[in-house]
Amino acid sequence: MTDTQEPTGVVPYLSLAGRAREAIEIWGRAFGAEQIAAYEENGHLRHAEVRINGGPVFLTDFSMEPMAAFQPTPSIALHLEVPDGSDWMARGKSAGCRVVTPWQQMSHGGFGRLVDPFGVIWSITSPKPGY
């Protein structure tokens, strides 16, 4: 752990039903996730924190409901605003994410979406060239 700064604001917290370590590895390859903290309990991650593009994401192997499995929803996406979204899309795809919306330049800039192997949607944008 190299960064002791406590996150502020809204932080996504995902319960991944025993797949938190796998998520950290895939997100590292896809989005440059850096593990900041990890606390184990009985061989599982009780709590972990990663930083992706400077922002925190919390995750755990456990659920608030003992029998609940992770249920991804198309209503929520983790959003990344990056200088070169097409590069981030390519990295995500090579790390095992599926392209949902191919990278495209739009009037406001670039946009694309991926879904990772856990069902989490990643929305990626880049500023309009020249901005």
Residue 13's pLDDT band (cuts 50, 70, 90)? very high
Please compute the mean of the pLDDT values over residues 83-100 and round it to a whole number.
97
Please compute the mean of the pLDDT values over residues 8-12 and round it to a whole number.
86
Residues 6+ apart with CB under 8 A from 48: 20, 24, 35, 37, 38, 39, 58, 59, 60
Q: Are 115 and 122 in contact (CB under 8 A)?
A: yes
Is residue 102 over pLDDT 90?
yes
Predicted pLDDT at 74: 81
Residues 6+ apart with CB under 8 A from 25: none
Q: Are β-strands 121-127 and 109-115 bridged in parallel, bridged antiparallel, or unpaired?
A: antiparallel
pTM of the predicted protein model: 0.85
Structure confidence by residue, pLDDT tens digits, 20-67: 999 999 999 999 999 999 999 989 999 999 999 999 999 999 876 665
Is residue 4 over pLDDT 80?
no
CATH 3.40.50.10190 fits 13-127, yes or no: no
* Percent of the chain surpassing pLDDT 90: 72
